[in-house]
Amino acid sequence: MKKPSAVDHVVDAIIDEIISGKIKPGERLSTEPELSKKYGVGRNSVREAIKQLQAFGILYIKRADGTFVSDTYNDRMLDPLLYNLIFSSNNWKDFVQLRYVIDVGTLHLAMQNPESVRVIPKLTAIVDNMDAEMKTKNPDADRILELDLSFHTTILSIIHNPLVDCVTGYITRLTVPSRKRAVTEWINSGRKSEFCSLHRKLTDLIRDGKTENIDEVVKEHYKLWK
């Protein structure tokens, strides 16, 4: 395995100390010379590590006061995850499994929330619009995809979890091109009504609260997504 650089060593060490509670949110870091001595690396490596953590929103700098650990959540904190997903997306099987885990987990959480019944009319309306578009002479794949994304975003809204929102948002960004191709395939294969039917199954699943059927329905939803 490739040996971590001095910069990576400092980045990992600071993150580990934040996770373990040795460095608290809002707390000021030690000075560059102190960190250099503590981690056994040069000051340039410490400076570069701080720049990286600052770019990801984990640290921030107050002029004349020093470097501090962020005490609020920032979307940038998950940017490294996006980069990792981008460079891993060529392994399609792993990527499908990742989306599957997210979708199944989201449905379980959504169906545990009593508020889930409130979105049924909205989900039904989205699928009705999807069905109407599919029945036109030349269905618009972009419009269908827009409705599909709205459908899944509505389910996601039930659980009120900003971290899940953020991770799912990254996965969605990466899957949009392939999902558009899948929608086009549904249209061209003459299976337009089946596409809408799968979304109705998801709606019925949430309405009925049958969590034991989540696995089957989600896998079926991926039929032409490849």
Q: Which domains are assigned to the chain?
A: 6-72 (1.10.10.10), 78-221 (1.20.120.530)
Predicted confidence at residue 91, as pLDDT, reads 67
| Measured distance CA(67)–CA(30) in Å, rounded | 8
Predicted confidence at residue 79, as pLDDT, reads 66
Please tell me whether residue 33 adopts helix, strand or coil conformation: helix
Predicted confidence at residue 164, as pLDDT, reads 87
Predicted confidence at residue 151, as pLDDT, reads 96
| Measured distance CA(44)–CA(220) in Å, rounded | 53
Predicted confidence at residue 90, as pLDDT, reads 60
> Kindly report the CA angle at 127 between 207 and 191, in degrees rounded to 5?
115
Please tell me whether residue 72 adopts helix, strand or coil conformation: coil
Predicted confidence at residue 221, as pLDDT, reads 85
| Measured distance CA(58)–CA(72) in Å, rounded | 9
Predicted confidence at residue 165, as pLDDT, reads 86
pTM value is: 0.71
In which residue ranges of the chain is pLDDT below 70? 1-3, 74-92, 226
Predicted confidence at residue 63, as pLDDT, reads 84
- Evaluated on CA atoms 71, 76, 82, 87, the torsion sign reads negative
